[in-house]
Structure 1
Amino acid sequence: MTNIAFNAGHGADSLLVVQGVGKAYKRYAGKWSRVLEWLSGTTRHEKIWVLRDIGFRIQPGEAVGIIGVNGAGKSTLLKIITGTTEPSMGHVQRQGRVAALLELGMGFHPDFTGRQNAYMAGQLLGISTQEIAVRMDEIEAFAEIGDYIDRPVRLYSSGMQMRLAFSVATAVRPDILIVDEALSVGDAYFQHKSFNKIREFREQGTSLLIVSHDRNAIQTLCDRAILLEKGFVIKDGPPEEVMDFYNALIAEKENATVEVKRLDDGRAKTHSGTGEARLHTISLRNAKDEAIEYANVGERVRLQVEIVLHADLPELVFGYMIKDRLGQPVFGTNTFHLGIRLGPFTAGERFRLDFAFPVHLGPGSYSVTTALHVSDSHIAANYEWQDLALLFNVINASQPQFVGINWLPPEVQVHTSP
């Protein structure tokens, strides 16, 4: 079941300030150490810090994403922000009404019906039973769980629990909405519906704090992203930049390094890898074999890359991904999935790859991310990963006008009745 944490309050501004927050837990050597510590008054534990010196501010109407690997401290941070856990150091200031959807497994009483749980959760939000009664039809309609609203919650699936929890939490627009990975358990239809509701709240001034591993959700919904690593904030900035850095950290191995360079347009280019293989050159080329920065919609082009080997490798996989201006993936593939075997190679060798395709993209700015690795992904062995390895633009100089990120020209047939 879903834990719904609420802090009822009112203020002209919705503002969240996290300042110098740290959280430590005591770890004892044995089961009697705690008793001996209490009796003797001497310390018999060590402190395990899961959060250290966390600080950030969320302005009214701002959306911030929290990302990090499992164990980075994300859930602990959310519990401190909502007030369900006390920090060991630092403090949190909250203004306005806060509604939080946290992890599954807590909150609703399993033997009470969904309706009864909705009333109890509403009261925690600070809404009277009379007002909940007025809003109950809206809650039922949004949750779409039918007759289950009057059945015990223990009979609900995790998706149904999520539907009801989200519907209750958003029955009244909060000043700050905190969403953990809980939404990931819902079906695709309800996820879409929920994110539309979140976008509506944002337009009305609600601040958003969202924890998710979903790159699209972070980059679509958020103005900023904060990366947690081993309890510390190691990066706070634009979502695309932070997500690129996060992906590089995931792929990092013992000898790998992660470098971030600032481009002339202000964007950050993330580069990582152990270096056994490197991208030497990359270009987008037209039918005349000319390197181009602008491609026409529908034009056939080639992505040409030259790779240099710095070590003997029995095999190698090259992959690329085209992203739009927001960093959203448009298309990606690699030689492994294409059934192309590369290798073995010896140190010092070079080779070239050409990927030919039509530019079935909408007008706009695009980037190419490249990866050199083994097997089907860069997680196994990251020789090199480059975000923003190539930038290019698409213009529409010859096709009928259209909207969207993809060029999908239809064949139209008109059938008239006899």
Structure 2
Amino acid sequence: MSSDDAVIVARGLSKAYQVYASPRARLQQFLLPRLRRLAGLPPRNHYRDFHALRGIDLSVGRGETVGIIGRNGSGKSTLLQLICGTLTPSGGSVSVRGRVAALLELGSGFNPEFSGRENVFLNGALLGLSRREVEQRFDAIAAFADIGEFIDQPTKTYSSGMVVRLAFAVAIHVDPDLLVVDEALAVGDTAFQQKCLQRIRRLQDQGVSILLVTHSTNTLIEYCDRGVYLRRGQLVMDGPCREVVKAYGDDLLAEEGAIGVVVAAEPEPGLQAPTPPAERAQADAGASVAVPAPAPHAILQIEQVALLDADGRPAATVRSGDPIEVLVDLRVHEPVAQPCFGIQLSSTDGIVLWSATTQQLASTLAPMAPGRHRFRWRLQANFSGNRYVVAIGAGEIVGGEYKRRHRLDYAGHFDVIPEPRSGGGWLAPKPSFALLPAAGAGEGDGG
């Protein structure tokens, strides 16, 4: 994009912090350099540099929604604070055009001693609105926040959810050119989160640029035009959301000691290899999926997956409510004391619809010795007519948590035949409809 179309332009943006091993080292850094200068000695630092961000190049165009994803400590919040001007970069530059409304750390920009009403006017002034402009918008802000009489109470008495409600309400009513949201919406209740996401859709329609930090891959795919993946302060990928989510998921698996997504180049005789995403729509659903030889030092590896119907045939097409069997062949290379297995159903565009692990189902599994093993998942296709993609995971319980050691993102798919007169979508709620008499009908009419 041209510089004229960009709301944010960051070039070589970096941020480093001085980290001290102890309070004593901090005091030494304060005193000793002065003494060494007086003595004519070269300076010596008593700290180490921690680089929260290194050389980030990023542009966000007008009306564009960009999602930022990454593990805790990857530099996401630091990047947003540099963009919003609450931090000063150690290197590089960043420029922002237009009015910026930001939801950063919880309660940032609010004076805890001020009432909600007073903080609305304070924030409006900080964002360049006159008192008259804030007064004109106040009723709409209060209605969206929906915190009732607490609007006139000190914000130090607010719950975290109430703070987010008020902060978001202010941010969206100041006519921003750029809205910056740092995971703040995760604090609110489900109903309010949906309300905020609906408002984000409206802001997108109005051409507002949005920079959104999220840990939800579904939110990234559904609401963002582009994804940015940060890892240990560096930009790993900037591109289509699905590709960014794929890279992020593979890295999470690798950091847990797992094998990433694998595709067999030469499948075993009689077995169908996983197909590339673009070709999956034409693939034969329910066929067995084979994977190549295990990676070095793999603890275990999924070797083959088959989706079968009640008669043991490939589950290419099933009716709503039919049983489905997911049969998995596994090779164990090292003893596994507490094995654990996972399964996930997704839409064809990558939206996770359901997932479970044997740990969540409270299934206690016996230790597994090295060798070949087989397990199965049995499901009831209580879904609406659609195509469903299956993913399979295998791992172990470590410290009470499930650690995946191998995951097959595409383990096959099956189609559920649409039921007549049942609606559309992913769920199968068995709807019915009836007209009822109006409240009070038949009363006082002499009958």
Q: TM-score, normalised by structure 2?
A: 0.80
Q: Compared with structure 1, are the counterparts of its residues 152 and 376 closer, same or farther at alpha carbon in structure 2 (3 Å cutoff)?
A: same
User: For 2:123 and 2:140, how far apart are their aligned partners in 1?
Assistant: 15
Q: Is the 8 A contact 1:337 1:376 kept in 2?
A: no
Residue 17 of structure 1: aligned partner: 9
Q: Compared with structure 1, are the counterparts of its residues 38 and 176 closer, same or farther at alpha carbon in structure 2 (3 Å cutoff)?
A: farther
Q: Note the C-alpha offset of 1:173.
A: 3.0
User: For 1:374 and 1:187, how far apart are their aligned partners in 2?
Assistant: 33
1:265 matches 2:265: no
User: For 2:4 and 2:255, how far apart are their aligned partners in 1?
Assistant: 48
Q: Compared with structure 1, are the counterparts of its residues 50 and 103 closer, same or farther at alpha carbon in structure 2 (3 Å cutoff)?
A: same
User: For 1:67 and 1:12, how far apart are their aligned partners in 2?
Assistant: 26
1:357 matches 2:380: yes
Residue 91 of structure 1: aligned partner: 93
Residue 393 of structure 2: aligned partner: 371
User: For 1:135 and 1:254, how far apart are their aligned partners in 2?
Assistant: 49
User: For 2:336 and 2:197, how far apart are their aligned partners in 1?
Assistant: 45
User: For 1:12 and 1:122, how far apart are their aligned partners in 2?
Assistant: 27
* Identity level (%): 35
Residue 445 of structure 2: aligned partner: none
Q: Is the 8 A contact 1:297 1:399 kept in 2?
A: no
State the AA in 2 paired with 1:18: A
Q: Is the 8 A contact 2:64 2:225 kept in 1?
A: yes
Residue 227 of structure 1: aligned partner: 229
Residue 299 of structure 2: aligned partner: 276
Q: Note the C-alpha offset of 1:102.
A: 0.5
State the AA in 1 paired with 2:30: R
Q: Is the 8 A contact 1:295 1:359 kept in 2?
A: no
Residues 43-122 of structure 1 mapped to structure 2, 5 A cutoff: 43-44=44-45, 45-122=47-124
Residue 8 of structure 1: aligned partner: none
Q: Note the C-alpha offset of 1:401.
A: 4.8
User: For 1:376 and 1:389, how far apart are their aligned partners in 2?
Assistant: 25
Q: Note the C-alpha offset of 1:170.
A: 0.9
Q: Which runs of 5+ in 1 are unaligned?
A: 1-10
1:331 matches 2:350: no
Q: Note the C-alpha offset of 1:372.
A: 0.7
SS at match of 1:313: coil
State the AA in 2 paired with 1:362: G
1:31 matches 2:43: no
Residue 130 of structure 2: aligned partner: 128
Q: Compared with structure 1, are the counterparts of its residues 19 and 335 closer, same or farther at alpha carbon in structure 2 (3 Å cutoff)?
A: same
Q: Is the 8 A contact 2:298 2:333 kept in 1?
A: yes
Q: Is the 8 A contact 2:319 2:381 kept in 1?
A: no
SS at match of 2:383: coil
Q: Note the C-alpha offset of 1:199.
A: 1.3
SS at match of 1:148: helix
Question: Of 296, 299, 309, which residue of structure 2 is paired with 1:286?
Answer: 309
User: For 2:207 and 2:433, how far apart are their aligned partners in 1?
Assistant: 43
Q: Is the 8 A contact 1:174 1:206 kept in 2?
A: yes
State the AA in 2 paired with 1:77: L
Q: Note the C-alpha offset of 1:206.
A: 1.5
Bigger mean CA offset, 405-414 vs 122-131: 405-414
Q: Which runs of 5+ in 2 are unaligned?
A: 264-273, 281-291, 443-447
Q: What does the per-residue CA deviation read over 1:114-155, in whole Å, with 9 as the maximum and x for residues that have no partner?
A: 222211211221111111111111111111122222222222
How many positions carry a matched residue from both structures? 404
Q: Compared with structure 1, are the counterparts of its residues 311 and 141 closer, same or farther at alpha carbon in structure 2 (3 Å cutoff)?
A: same
Q: Note the C-alpha offset of 1:341.
A: 4.1
Bigger mean CA offset, 33-42 vs 209-218: 33-42
Residue 285 of structure 2: aligned partner: none
User: For 2:432 and 2:28, how far apart are their aligned partners in 1?
Assistant: 77
User: For 1:399 and 1:377, how far apart are their aligned partners in 2?
Assistant: 48
User: For 2:341 and 2:257, how far apart are their aligned partners in 1?
Assistant: 20
Bigger mean CA offset, 251-260 vs 44-53: 251-260
Q: Note the C-alpha offset of 1:290.
A: 2.5
Q: Note the C-alpha offset of 1:180.
A: 0.8
Structure number with the higher strand fraction is 1
Which structure has the greater CA radius of gyration? 2
Q: Compared with structure 1, are the counterparts of its residues 58 and 283 closer, same or farther at alpha carbon in structure 2 (3 Å cutoff)?
A: farther
User: For 1:247 and 1:157, how far apart are their aligned partners in 2?
Assistant: 33
Q: Note the C-alpha offset of 1:82.
A: 0.6
Residue 3 of structure 1: aligned partner: none
Q: What does the per-residue CA deviation read over 1:257-303, in whole Å, with 9 as the maximum and x for residues that have no partner?
A: 545779633599xx999632211111222344322444444444322
Bigger mean CA offset, 132-141 vs 181-190: 181-190
User: For 2:363 and 2:188, how far apart are their aligned partners in 1?
Assistant: 37
Q: TM-score, normalised by structure 1?
A: 0.85
SS at match of 1:301: strand
User: For 2:316 and 2:226, how far apart are their aligned partners in 1?
Assistant: 29
User: For 1:109 and 1:336, how far apart are their aligned partners in 2?
Assistant: 44
Q: CA RMSD in A?
A: 3.2
Q: What does the per-residue CA deviation read over 1:78-133, in whole Å, with 9 as the maximum and x for residues that have no partner?
A: 11011111111111122222211100143211222222221121122111111111
